[in-house]
């Protein structure tokens, strides 16, 4: 029975939901007897999330391509005012990375029975090479509507060449089955350090609202600040954990709304620090415009937080229910304000919700979810016999 599996992703150098769930699964499969390798497309010390020492790590330097080192500096020097310079630079990096990854796979793919690509651009690139694609599963962590003209319209139809597609939400399964019938729903694993939380001292929790994640346009943290500015927070404060291109704009927005004493920007924290912050907080706020799943919502539940989230496509509706919080129709800011105000005002209701949210997280633990996940992977692996 074939057991040699290669995962491919960009990095484990800093926080990232995809890296986290990939490593969680790789560790679980390694512990269950599979021979696991990971190819990272960026060089460095890949130690942000803990990797089982039995897993073999390979790296290539996707930033060492001539396009990134020679073409992009020319664009910066001579086309500073070109409207699409940033987008063009990204494409140059993407195609350079494709070249570097493809050369490595041509030389090494025969060592592996199964390849699992962990990002849609990588899957699209691999799908062009039918030999490598025939043993590759695309693990889709992004909204299936992303991709644009190249990665979506032009290359995604090539997914028919892949051995299969792994999705993390039901909507994605329905879409990808139109491209490749060998499409499977396999939920994400949470893993450590959140899995080790067996009991919570609810009395130690503080009146903290919290957000954890990237600070960019899609995460829509500016709307959370707008909500905060329209309610009486009483003695609550709001902690924003993460970094991203919107950080400085969000700080200015907090100042403009005179919320400097109520909003704390922590910057990037380690995964253990994030766990501790979530254990102290009471309410997790989430207003993303789009998601593929929303792992951080589960992590907040594991730490005993009530959830208030927009019902964006896709993910929050699979997680949030009356036991753990409130699912708000997308862009209905007034209802978001109403629900947040109600739990801040009603301490008994909030404390009950925190406890039932923690209890509800039990069904997402890997001892329950991995059994189904492992069975699905065993099915996929058996298809190679």
pLDDT per residue over 313-331, tens digit each? Answer: 888 988 899 999 999 999 9
**What is the helix (H) or strand (E) element at residue 4, kind and residue range?**
strand 4-9
The structure's pTM equals 0.76
What is the bridge-based pairing of β-strands 237-241 and 136-140?
unpaired
> What does the block give as tokens for 292?
């593929």
Question: pLDDT grade, residue 384 (50/70/90)?
Answer: very low
Stretch among 185-189, 196-200, 347-351 having the lowest mean pLDDT: 185-189
**Is domain 208-363 annotated with CATH 3.40.50.2000?**
yes
**208-222 as b/e: b if 16+ CB within 10 A:** bbbbbbbbeebbbbb
Domains 4-190+366-383 and 208-363 alike in fold: yes
Model confidence pLDDT, tens digit, residues 92-125: 999 999 999 999 999 999 999 999 999 999 999 9
Nearest CA to 16 out of 178, 244, 257 is that of: 244
Q: Is the CB of residue 116 less than 8 Å from the CB of residue 137?
A: yes
Residue 248 clears pLDDT 90, i.e. is over it: yes
Cα 242 to Cα 240: distance, rounded to the nearest angstrom: 7
Neighbours of 345 (CB within 10 A): 12
Neighbours of 384 (CB within 10 A): 13
Cα 56 to Cα 111: distance, rounded to the nearest angstrom: 12
Residue 70's region, left for phi above 0, alpha for psi from -120 to 50, else beta, is alpha
Question: What are the angstrom distances between the C-alpha of 3 and each of 16, 33, 366?
Answer: 27, 8, 21
What is the bridge-based pairing of β-strands 136-140 and 164-167?
parallel
Give the model's pLDDT for residue 366: 63
Cα 143 to Cα 312: distance, rounded to the nearest angstrom: 11
> What is the residue extent of each domain of the chain?
4-190+366-383, 208-363
Q: Is the CB of residue 182 less than 8 Å from the CB of residue 173?
A: no
CATH topology of domain 4-190+366-383: Rossmann fold (3.40.50)
Nearest CA to 56 out of 74, 82, 77, 35 is that of: 35
């Amino acid at each position: 029975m074939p057991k040699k599996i290669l995962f491919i992703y960009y990095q484990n150098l800093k926080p990232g939901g995809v890296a986290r769930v990939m490593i969680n699964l790789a560790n679980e499969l390694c512990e269950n007897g599979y021979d696991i390798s990971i190819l990272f497309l960026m060089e460095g010390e890949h130690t942000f999330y803990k990797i089982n020492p039995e897993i073999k790590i390979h790296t290539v330097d996707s930033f060492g391509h001539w396009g990134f080192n020679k073409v992009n500096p020319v664009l910066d020097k001579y086309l500073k005012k070109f409207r699409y310079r940033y987008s063009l630079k990204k494409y140059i990096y993407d195609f350079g990375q494709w070249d570097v990854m493809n050369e490595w796979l041509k030389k090494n793919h025969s060592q592996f029975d199964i390849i699992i690509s962990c990002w849609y651009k990588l899957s699209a690139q691999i799908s062009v090479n039918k030999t490598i694609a025939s043993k590759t599963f695309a693990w889709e962590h992004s909204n299936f509507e992303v991709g644009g003209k190249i990665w979506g319209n032009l290359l995604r139809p090539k997914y028919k060449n892949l051995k299969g597609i792994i999705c993390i939400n039901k909507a994605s399964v329905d879409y990808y089955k139109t491209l490749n019938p060998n499409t499977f729903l396999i939920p994400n694993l949470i893993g450590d350090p959140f899995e080790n939380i067996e009991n919570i001292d609810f009395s130690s929790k503080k009146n903290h609202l919290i957000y954890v994640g990237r600070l960019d346009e899609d995460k829509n943290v500016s709307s959370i600040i707008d909500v905060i500015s329209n309610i009486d927070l009483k003695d609550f404060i709001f902690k924003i954990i993460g970094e991203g291109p919107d950080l400085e704009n969000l700080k200015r927005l907090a100042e403009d709304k005179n919320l400097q004493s109520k909003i704390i920007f922590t910057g990037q924290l380690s995964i253990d620090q994030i766990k501790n912050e979530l254990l102290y907080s009471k309410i997790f706020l989430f207003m993303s415009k789009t998601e593929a799943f929303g792992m951080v919502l589960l992590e907040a539940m594991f730490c005993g937080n009530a959830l208030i989230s927009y019902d964006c496509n896709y993910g929050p509706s699979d997680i949030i229910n009356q036991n753990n919080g409130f699912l708000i129709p997308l862009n209905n800011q007034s209802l978001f304000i109403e629900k947040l105000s109600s739990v801040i005002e009603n301490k008994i209701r909030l404390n009950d919700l925190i406890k039932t949210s923690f209890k509800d997280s039990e069904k997402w633990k890997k001892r329950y979810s991995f059994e189904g996940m492992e069975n699905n992977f065993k099915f996929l692996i058996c298809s190679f016999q």
